[in-house]
Structure 1
């Protein structure tokens, strides 16, 4: 069952490294700890915040006195420091060198960690911009970057097995273009399980790339949308973890499948203490970054034929297990909905959820 407890179980390098060596390095945190300017606060386990948690506030044009929009990473650093977060994961795209330095100055002053979220180069012509973004992120103090390989959710974006295989081929091209840049700048990249890859598929991609500079941004709840057991996903991907998206999830039934929502930590079905313990075991330097998205439930149409177009021979037992889990763990209070709220109330709900999650992380998860 999804909610059962499980027991937690700089030198020049080539771009080829076997899995055992990768695991050794990830477990020891050797790559991060060997860097000469390793920030002392990376040993701090306070939970940080992913920019997507502030989907309503990031670049908001709303005229709100209480919840003013964040125009950039500096604004987000200031606010997250005020609410007691340990750091941020934020989009790095087209920063100037001067802005990167201002982010670094602010980050160092506040004592927060910084991780970047970055797009991959699609072809050789994109590599120069990708390298500039990596260099700016590094200048700002980010030694970990997060990326995605798909433009959208698997079951909404790809409507044939060939379309998904084309995405996979393109992802491998992009990652092979990115790897030498990451190695040069000594920055590690985490590929998120972003409702695109099932866990074994993502592991296969990592084995194809076979680099210590590319691992996983482990999202604790996304893969429920792909009929995966979240604890099994963590156990499969955690040997490669370089960063995280921490969240709790709630489910409910609907006619074409099930509904899926992020909810404040501790209110959902995920075994967060075990997931966090596994991440710490495999990578003691890993940060825990909150992705609490305040929105209406996502519809997962797993009873429609088109949903299955990319899954090949996925056994029906995966569907049966997931629907049984949904039936047994329906969110009794009713999944949260915000579309009907005005802008100020949406901003208030977003902030309330994030602060509640940070409080839970300190008081119940020991991330202090």
Structure 2
């Protein structure tokens, strides 16, 4: 097990709102400076434009910094997953996170099982694990059905229980249902706050340890469900940080502070 940071912890600093968006090398160096051991390049479309030389440069930098790399994308179509498999091999990645749906494809569980059956064997043969993330577009029951249906040690669940609240699934229930299949964890705290005038709520991120995430309970459940001798599960910091009214500088500073707090908290938990 190792602790790391995702591109989602740099959401605003790599966005079009940033005067000078952080680069991938910049995020890798920042992760190392903060004490992270893993960097997950997640939903970062620019990586798909990299040629072999650029991917080699990213891998070399990660090696120099002592970082393990992971990848993240969306979808279960074989051609897309095999494209990420090829990138994973070039980057030395052994964990690729994906999601069931894309903007143009929403497979049924049966269809997803069939499609994953075309790509997961290649991942397994190379020792690369594919993880499907919990989120509101797909019920946790359906996600587990797909993982069990493919029945491979190299297909599992990326656990992020806060995502499923929008489906009215309790985080504790999501953790309990997926614990035996978890291969990666996104550590992201969350909370509800009342809107002005007490008209509804805002559901957004919170600094780790201040929101509704039962971090200790989540980790205990996953640890208890692990098969003896199975590889450890990396924990990756993410955020749902709302844009700050004061503008970019205030938002970027708070994003950095949340990231620093989260990774420091995880490292102290060892």
- TM tier relative to shorter chain: 0.7 to 0.9
In structure 2, C-alpha distance between the alignment counterparts of 1:222 and 1:106, rounded to whole Å? 32
- What does residue 127 of structure 2 align with? 186
Shift in alpha-carbon separation, 1:109–1:207, aligned structure 2, 3 A: same
The match for 2:175 among 215, 224, 234 is 234
Kept in 1, the 8 Å contact 2:75–2:102? The answer is no
Secondary structure at the counterpart of residue 123 of structure 2: helix
Partner of 1:77: 28
In terms of Rg, which structure is larger? 1
Name which of 271, 282, 287 aligns with 2:234. 287
Q: Which whole-Å CA distance do the structure 1 matches of 2:14 and 2:114 have between them?
A: 31
Gaps of 5+ in 1: 1-42, 158-162, 296-337
Conservation of the 8 A alpha-carbon contact between 2:17 and 2:248 = no
Kindly report the root-mean-square deviation, in angstroms, between the aligned alpha carbons of the 2 structures: 2.6
Once the two structures are superposed, the pairs formed by residues 36-75 of structure 1 within 5 Å of their partners are 43=1, 45=2, 47-58=3-14, 60=16, 62-63=18-19, 68-72=20-24, 74-75=25-26
Distance in 2 (CA, whole Å) between partners of 1:168 and 1:99 is 36
What do residues 41-94 of structure 1 show as CA deviations (whole Å, max 9, x unaligned)?
xx5x3x21111121111255633xxxx52223x332111111221211104524
Q: Distance in 1 between matches of 2:200 and 2:147?
A: 31
Sort the Cα spacing of 1:290 and 1:180 in 2 relative to 1 into closer, same or farther, 3 A.
same
Tell me if structure 1 keeps the 8 A contact 2:74–2:102.
no
Residue aligning to 1:358 = 263
Q: Does the Cα contact within 8 Å between 1:95 and 1:133 map onto a contact in 2? A: no
Paired with 1:141 and 1:76, the residues of 2 have a C-alpha distance of 18
Cα offset, 1:112, TM superposition: 1.5
2:220 aligned residue: 277
CA distance in 2, matches of 1:182, 1:211: 10
Residue 115 (structure 1) shift: 0.9
Question: CA deviation digits over 1:230-275, x for unaligned, max 9?
Answer: 1221111011111111111112356886432111111012221121
Task: Give ranges in structure 2 of 5+ residues lacking alignment.
Answer: none
Give the structure-1-normalised TM-score. Answer: 0.64
Change (3 A) 1:97 1:171: same
Residue deviations 1:148-178 (CA, integer Å, cap 9, x gap): 11236xxxx9xxxxx97x5545534442332
Report matched runs for 1:23-42 at 5 Å.
Answer: none
